[in-house]
Amino acid sequence: MNWFIIFFGLYAMFVGVMLILFPAVFKKKMTKLLSLKNYKALGVVTAIIGLLFLLASSGAKMSLFIVLIGILSLLKGFFFIFAAHDKIKFLINWWLSLPTDSCRIWGIMAFTMGLLLIVAGA
């Protein structure tokens, strides 16, 4: 299951680089992607990813970090499944309305998290 951790590490690094270099383009793409009417499917996918992180944590070098990522992903998935549509929409609109400097900071954090995931999975 280390391939799963490395894959998501690469994905997080890609998202981080895109947020750092092209925050306006990335925000426009995310706005189009997150214009869903029903967020429950997104929540189910996120919860499944959290479960996979928890399963993969036993073979990782930094298993506590992977468990933490898995639990946070599960919580995010449950939020998207059980929260009211207005609260989810408010959170997404807040994130998408951040200034570009804030998006770049989130990009640095995503890149760092991806790097840690790759180290944990390697």
Helices (H) and strands (E) in the chain, counts: 6, 0
The residues near 120 (Cβ < 8 Å, ≥ 6 apart) are 5, 9, 60, 61, 62, 63, 65, 66
Single-letter amino acid, residue 97: S
Confidence of residue 86 (pLDDT cuts 50, 70, 90): confident
What pLDDT sits at residue 35?
78
d(CA 64, CA 96): 30
**Cβ neighbours of 48 (radius 10 Å):** 13
Confidence of residue 34 (pLDDT cuts 50, 70, 90): confident
Task: Report pLDDT digits (tens) over 51-80.
Answer: 999 999 888 888 899 999 999 999 999 999
pLDDT at residue 120 tops 80: yes
Percent of the chain with pLDDT over 70: 100
The structure's pTM equals 0.84
